[in-house]
Amino acid sequence: MLSAGEDRSRRAPRSLRSEYEEFIEQRIEEYKDGLPRASILGIGDEAVQELARTEQYTLTEVLLQEQVDAIIRRRLRLPSYRRWRERHLALRAAQVEPTHWGLAPHDPVVLIADVVREQDTFAAVGAADGACALFLAARGAHVLVGDPDLAAIEGLENRAAAEQLSSRITCLVVPLESWTPPQQLDGCVIETAALAGLSAGERAELIRRLKTVTVPGGRHVVMPASGPAGRTPPVSSDALRSLYADWTVARARDPGTGARRTRNMGFLATQPEPPAQPEMRQSETA
């Protein structure tokens, strides 16, 4: 994590080649995980026979493992780097658009899209449908998702795998009343529905902890609350606004008129940067 005074734009993006290698490795491991032990041993025997037909003089464990992976790669018909790259770039171009995830242009998380830097670290409080976490991951961020609901976490993990974003998403089943992300954050997305099981005091304490681990200039996105039509959601985004009285808060605007929406439309809160230190005069440093 860079300090407040460092330029986050210095972070080097991951290469496409490394993303391709991660994709291939993930697909091979998923295939192995779904096989019974007897089938894996059968692939091992096949690998030994193939190596015996080559001019390899020493059969090592590493060499055998590489040959097993090569056999699985053939079975799965995994794409070459060139074919994968063409598909991957098209997928990534779609993923950076809010509409790919069902997000509207006025949703608070969309407001920070252009300031997300490669390898920024965000927390997502609540998995919800995964749209916010995956949208930020597609923009290059690493997203740590905490949610007490195992089914919601598993659903997000499956969706991340289908979108080839698993390497940028870390999912945890955690009690939100005591959870604190273990690293500094560049920002945070809060799904208000995930806070329904917390008391007002527990919600305030959770927000306080999240603010503490967010770097100066970091942003918190509080998403609109959702619930069954005609029913008031258990927790509205408006109920959390007072917890950011010491931050700069921007509310969502109506996409038609540009006017601020006043009820339960979510908001974006930015932690103030520390005041700049005055430069010392030369006589004071002598």
| Among the listed residues 157, 153, 158, 116, the one whose alpha carbon sits nearest the alpha carbon of residue 138 | 116
Torsion of Cα atoms, 201 then 206 then 212 then 218, to 10°: -120
- Looking at the fold, whether 119 and 220 belong to one and the same domain comes out as yes
Q: What is the mean pLDDT of residues 77-91?
A: 89
Domain of residue 224: give its range: 96-270
31 and 165 in a single domain? The answer is no
Q: Verify that 215 and 125 share a domain, yes or no.
A: yes
- Does pTM surpass 0.85? no
Cα separation, 254 vs 265, in Å, equals 9
pLDDT of residue 4: 38
Indicate whether 75 and 124 sit together in one domain.
Answer: no
Q: Assess whether 116 and 56 both reside in one domain.
A: no
Same domain, 55 and 176: no
Number of domains in the chain: 2
Q: Is residue 9 domain-resident? A: no
The model's pLDDT over 172-184, given as tens digits with 9 standing for 90+, comes to 999 999 999 999 9
Co-location of 152 and 29 in the same domain = no
pLDDT band at 284 (very low <50, low <70, confident <90, very high): low
- Average pLDDT of the chain is 85
pLDDT digits (tens, 9 = 90+) for 12-66: 566 888 888 888 898 899 889 888 989 988 998 888 888 888 766 677 888 888 8
Q: Could you write out the three-class secondary structure of 41-67?
A: HHHHHHHHHHHHCCCCCCCCHHHHHHH
- CATH number of the domain within which 183 lies: 3.40.50.150
